[in-house]
Structure 1
């Protein structure tokens, strides 16, 4: 996703389209992956609550980054018009927003890698217990 934001920040002709496609695909994959992630990591007992907490970042991030951050940075780049409004034309208007979003995605990726390393031992224990249950059930059946 960070690559998509960097592509949009570069502001070459057509980069808005390509960057938007990359970011959109990443959002779609993120939503599709959160369903099995919630059930696999936390179980099914409180699945609804945990899933909703996992996807809470979508509206919260949209509000914080799109509503507050992007609006503030746009207003800082915009110039006053004769009618009393603000206007900004060109790629520089949202470049800083795309850079901040790319940095946030890189930080999130780093945290995901950290989580993967921290849960590696847990997954190895789960898989070994599943294998031992299968072998014991097969040996008991013979």
Structure 2
């Protein structure tokens, strides 16, 4: 099975994990966190070898660094900016001047946005799988 399809499958499962986190039923925090964590691990394990298969090893160091750049960049954009802004929108101002929010609604919109971004990632991974179908069929033929 081509690696881009594994990435696409992990994106769909990750979107389901974020939806579980957004609906906030009892126990969904644990299950959703486990699903999202496993899917992140799958993506990290598959993306780097897939890049070497698709782009080759000539400029692998630069390609690897660009791929790994998604971790701090995504953390800053989604956790720092998006989650902070959306939390502040949901929070109520206290008498001391701070913001507070208690309950599942505080991060619900963040999880919905993350699920939507996973759906976009699924579409992109599916497109990549379609584009690299010929490459992976050639690789299978060489292994035989």
Aligned residue in 2 for 1:92? 105
TM-aligned CA deviation for residue 125 of structure 1: 4.3
- Once the two structures are superposed, the pairs formed by residues 47-66 of structure 1 within 5 Å of their partners are 47-66=60-79
Q: Does 1:40 align with 2:35?
A: no
For the residue of structure 1 that corresponds to 2:113, the secondary structure is helix
Aligned residue in 1 for 2:90? 77
For CA contacts below 8 A with separation 6 or more, give which structure has more relative contact order: 2
Does the Cα contact within 8 Å between 1:34 and 1:51 map onto a contact in 2?
A: no
Q: TM-score, normalised by structure 2?
A: 0.85
Q: Does 1:104 align with 2:125?
A: no
Does the Cα contact within 8 Å between 1:6 and 1:98 map onto a contact in 2?
A: yes
Aligned residue in 2 for 1:139? none
Cα-Cα RMSD: 1.5
5+ long unaligned stretches in structure 1 = 135-142
Q: Distance in 2 between matches of 1:28 and 1:102?
A: 17
Q: Distance in 2 between matches of 1:24 and 1:48?
A: 26
How many residues are paired up?
A: 131
- Once the two structures are superposed, the pairs formed by residues 24-39 of structure 1 within 5 Å of their partners are 24-39=37-52
Q: TM-score, normalised by structure 1?
A: 0.86
For the residue of structure 2 that corresponds to 1:24, the secondary structure is helix
5+ long unaligned stretches in structure 2 = 1-13
